Amino acid sequence: MMNLAQLRARLEQSFSPLACECSVDGDHSLTVKLYHPGSGQVDLVISGLKLNALRTAEAVEALIEELRYELESNSLRSSRDPDLV
């Protein structure tokens, strides 16, 4: 299983130029925030991810694909309706 620093590095590599913040909540769930490092503008926050589900490289890749989908969905929504930003 990856540690948090490795997971964050893998996510930043996958979503460059975005930065990534990973934090573990009291119930051992993970929160991932993807944001622009210069402005601090947040593009995506996902919480409640189970750490024990990220034990394999395949699981981490599946998470990356899910986050890509969510980022794309957010971009499509905000480009259609500027009030949803």
Say if 84 falls within a structural domain: no
Say if 47 falls within a structural domain: yes
Question: Which domain covers residue 17, as residue numbers?
Answer: 4-75
Q: What is the pLDDT of residues 33-85, one digit of tens each?
A: 999 999 999 999 999 999 888 888 899 999 999 999 999 988 765 655 555 44
pTM above 0.75, yes or no: yes
Domain count, the chain: 1
Say if 31 falls within a structural domain: yes
Distance between CA atoms of 35 and 69, rounded to whole angstroms? Answer: 16
Q: Quick check: 36 and 43 in contact, CB under 8 A?
A: yes
Distance between CA atoms of 49 and 32, rounded to whole angstroms? Answer: 8
Q: What is the pLDDT of residue 28?
A: 86
Q: Residue 17 has which token pair?
A: 């130029």
Task: Identify the sign of the CA torsion 2, 23, 59, 63.
Answer: negative
Say if 9 falls within a structural domain: yes
Q: What is the pLDDT of residue 85?
A: 43
